[in-house]
């Protein structure tokens, strides 16, 4: 995906300045060792000291320093921390605990700057466009802030305005993160194991979507179309004549926050019905539409007087194709049936587990995990606990979840917490079981099978028609010798790297020995006329060079752990 705001060549100085700022903040929080892992050792401020800068702080405070550093670095890194807080398959639990504390807030932007953005985007001032516009923001955040307003026809709306300059700053930070990930992938085992460039690309794609308010408005419209005729969900209207990529005007919905059980009881609303409705809506989003709200916390869900749920903030959504929906259905049914073997197969199919060398160990651990719950009933099992146990095991086995699955685990956990506030007896797995079976049977109904067979027949016919041309093209490339095979052997790459290091040290040792011998020969040969005047300087320079080279060679061997 192309950058929304590409950085021109003359902006490289600002990029370097930002890199130094990032390095300074991370080093100040005791994270200089992290910079070395991504190839930024040369950017660590020297006043920290050579050895102190590379030593991580004690484990209990390291995660907290990491959170504080991300918060200090601004919008991009706050969002990065929030994204990492949903990846227990990638980072340890103590980091998760700290990163969930990251708040996406920021000092409010002065109203004069907000007015300028609205005038640039909509052509007129807010005083002209709206009957009323509250200059005090409702919720200032790192990317944008929301203001309450009233249209000329009296409708209450929320106007989200992007912070000035935030898009440029985010693009610079994303370019820096991409460079760090590329270096780590090429020079460190962790970077190769977790495919850091791909993770940064996914993060960049999500963050750029949040920068585009047009996309958020279209997400809201898509939700409304999907749930047309379903009285259980209300989606606010987007006013497109007052919406651009940097300004979003959306209907202000009323209602009671879904977590406010006292207010719901006072209003006479059946909390059990609301909880059941929220789980039903979630399952429809995932398994029927493949398009779900990825941030359904209590602040984004309101209960209306008719007990329907109104959802807001559609900037973060998840998408599932039919293949992933089918595999997730299988995973859900495998968990419900406590089938470890089938669950292992399902995890391999979605790419969570890549190497099959450890399949037996993975299946055994999954079996132990499911056995822990098999003695009870579904009504006794919390989906959030199952998700937590699975992700903890994924971290131990170095499994990497697809982004969609990570988002779903987070959504399920958040939805269950909200549902249990409404109905303490609610268990998501117990409630979801019948829905999962219903969706499974619907996907295998005669009508669905006919549709699938028809699509398969069309694909086969297209392949048959194109096969001769493709075969001829492949044979032509074989005859010309244009076919190349790319074999990637991780163990061989590590071996070559180690051999290069050994060769470099051997070459330095030879140079050091030759220098020492040369110095000795210089002292024993006949002196040329200028030796008395300049020889001592030449000998001194050679001696210092040999001493420095020898010290560096010994230090490099010691720091690498080799005798």
**Is the confidence at residue 217, as pLDDT, over 60?**
yes
234 forms beta bridges with: 310
pLDDT in the model for residue 104: 67
**Residue ranges of domains in the chain:** 9-105+195-205, 106-194+206-252, 257-443, 493-559
* Segment 222-247, tens digit of pLDDT: 999 999 999 999 999 999 999 999 99
* Segment 175-215, tens digit of pLDDT: 988 888 888 887 776 766 677 888 888 888 888 888 899 99
Task: Sort 405 into a burial class: Cβ within 10 Å, 0-12 / 13-18 / 19+.
Answer: buried
CA–CA distance, 519 with 541 (Å, rounded to integer): 10
pLDDT band at 562 (very low <50, low <70, confident <90, very high): very low
pLDDT in the model for residue 511: 74
- Find which of 101-105, 380-384, 528-532 is predicted with most confidence, using mean pLDDT: 101-105
pLDDT in the model for residue 51: 41
CA distances from 165 to 7, 38, 203, 315 (A): 13, 27, 20, 19
Range name among 48-57, 297-306, 504-513, 537-546 with the lowest pLDDT average: 48-57
Mean pLDDT of 330-347: 80
- Across 63-152, where does the E strand assignment appear? 132-133, 139-140, 144-150
pLDDT band at 1 (very low <50, low <70, confident <90, very high): very low
pLDDT in the model for residue 201: 87
For residue 542, what is the DSSP state? Answer: H
Mean pLDDT of 274-284: 89
For residue 529, what is the DSSP state? Answer: T
pLDDT band at 559 (very low <50, low <70, confident <90, very high): low
Q: Could you tell me which residue, 385 or 339, shows the higher pLDDT?
A: 339
Q: Could you tell me which residue, 361 or 2, shows the higher pLDDT?
A: 361
May I ask the CATH architecture of the domain 106-194+206-252? 2-Layer Sandwich (3.30)
Mean pLDDT of the chain: 78
Mean pLDDT of 250-254: 92
**Is the confidence at residue 52, as pLDDT, over 60?**
no
Mean pLDDT of 325-353: 78
pLDDT band at 95 (very low <50, low <70, confident <90, very high): confident
pLDDT band at 497 (very low <50, low <70, confident <90, very high): low
**Is the confidence at residue 152, as pLDDT, over 90?**
yes
CA–CA distance, 491 with 325 (Å, rounded to integer): 36
pLDDT in the model for residue 14: 61
- Among residues 59, 57, 76, 66, the alpha carbon closest in space to that of 25 is found at 66
Q: Is 321 a catalytic residue?
A: no
**Is the confidence at residue 485, as pLDDT, over 60?**
yes
CA distances from 449 to 284, 333, 349, 452, 456 (A): 20, 20, 21, 5, 10
Among residues 173, 295, 365, 423, the one annotated as catalytic is 295
Question: For residues 545 and 507, is the Cβ–Cβ distance under 8 A?
Answer: no
**Is the confidence at residue 27, as pLDDT, over 90?**
no
Mean pLDDT of 353-365: 72
CA–CA distance, 221 with 228 (Å, rounded to integer): 10
CA–CA distance, 181 with 450 (Å, rounded to integer): 46
Mean pLDDT of 95-109: 79
| Cβ atoms within 10 Å, residue 420 | 16
Q: In the structure encoding, which two tokens stand for residue 483, read together?
A: 């076919």
* Segment 5-17, tens digit of pLDDT: 444 544 555 677 7
pLDDT in the model for residue 311: 93
| pTM recorded for the entire structure | 0.68
């Amino acid at each position: 995906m192309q950058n929304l705001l590409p950085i021109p060549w003359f902006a490289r100085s600002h990029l370097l300045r930002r890199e130094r700022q990032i390095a300074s903040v991370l080093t100040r929080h005791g994270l200089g060792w992290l910079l070395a892992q991504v190839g930024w050792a040369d950017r660590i401020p020297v006043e920290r000291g050579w050895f102190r800068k590379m030593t991580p702080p004690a484990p209990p405070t390291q995660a907290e320093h990491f959170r504080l550093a991300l918060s200090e670095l601004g919008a991009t890194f706050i969002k990065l921390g929030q994204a990492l807080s949903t990846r227990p398959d990638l980072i340890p639990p103590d980091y998760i605990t700290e990163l969930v504390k990251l708040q996406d807030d920021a000092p409010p932007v002065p109203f004069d700057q907000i007015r300028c953005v609205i005038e640039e985007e909509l052509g007129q001032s807010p005083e002209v466009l709206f009957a009323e516009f509250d200059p005090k923001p409702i919720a200032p955040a790192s990317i944008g802030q929301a203001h309450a307003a009233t249209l000329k026809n009296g409708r209450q709306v929320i106007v989200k305005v992007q912070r000035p300059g935030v898009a440029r700053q985010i693009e610079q930070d994303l370019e820096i993160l991409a460079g760090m990930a590329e270096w780590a992938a090429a020079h460190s085992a962790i970077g190769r194991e977790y495919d850091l460039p791909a993770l940064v690309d996914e993060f960049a794609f999500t963050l750029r979507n949040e920068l585009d308010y047009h996309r958020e408005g279209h997400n809201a419209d898509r939700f409304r179309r999907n749930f047309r005729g379903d009285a259980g969900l209300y989606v606010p209207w987007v006013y497109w004549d007052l919406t651009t990529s940097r300004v979003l005007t959306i209907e202000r919905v009323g209602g009671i926050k879904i977590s406010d059980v006292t207010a719901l009881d006072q209003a006479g609303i059946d909390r059990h019905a609301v909880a059941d409705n929220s789980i039903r809506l979630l399952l429809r989003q995932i398994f029927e539409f493949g398009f779900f709200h990825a941030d359904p916390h209590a602040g984004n869900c309101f209960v209306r007087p008719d007990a329907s749920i109104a959802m807001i903030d559609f900037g973060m959504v998840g998408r599932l194709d039919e293949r992933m929906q089918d595999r997730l259905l299988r995973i859900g049914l495998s968990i419900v049936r406590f089938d470890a073997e089938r669950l292992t197969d399902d995890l391999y199919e979605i790419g969570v587990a890549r190497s099959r060398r450890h399949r037996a160990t993975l299946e055994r651990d999954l079996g132990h995990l499911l056995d822990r719950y098999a003695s009870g009933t579904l009504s006794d099992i919390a989906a959030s606990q199952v998700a937590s146990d699975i992700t903890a095991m994924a971290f131990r086995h170095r499994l990497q979840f697809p982004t969609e699955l990570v988002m779903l685990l987070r959504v399920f956990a958040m939805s269950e917490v909200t549902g249990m506030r409404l109905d303490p007896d609610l268990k998501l797995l117990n409630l979801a079981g019948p829905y999962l079976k219903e969706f499974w049977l619907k996907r295998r109904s005669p009508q669905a099978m006919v549709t699938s067979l028809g699509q398969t027949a069309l694909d086969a016919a297209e392949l048959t028609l194109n096969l001769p041309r493709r075969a001829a093209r492949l044979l032509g490339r074989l005859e010309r010798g244009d076919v190349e095979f790319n074999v990637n052997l991780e163990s061989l790459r590590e071996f070559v790297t180690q051999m290069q290091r050994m060769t470099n040290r051997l070459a330095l040792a030879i140079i050091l020995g030759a220098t020492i011998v040369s110095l000795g020969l210089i002292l024993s040969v006949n002196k040329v006329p200028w030796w008395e005047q300049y020889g001592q300087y030449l000998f001194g320079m050679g001696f210092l060079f040999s001493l420095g080279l020898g010290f560096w060679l010994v230090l490099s061997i010691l720091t690498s752990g080799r005798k």
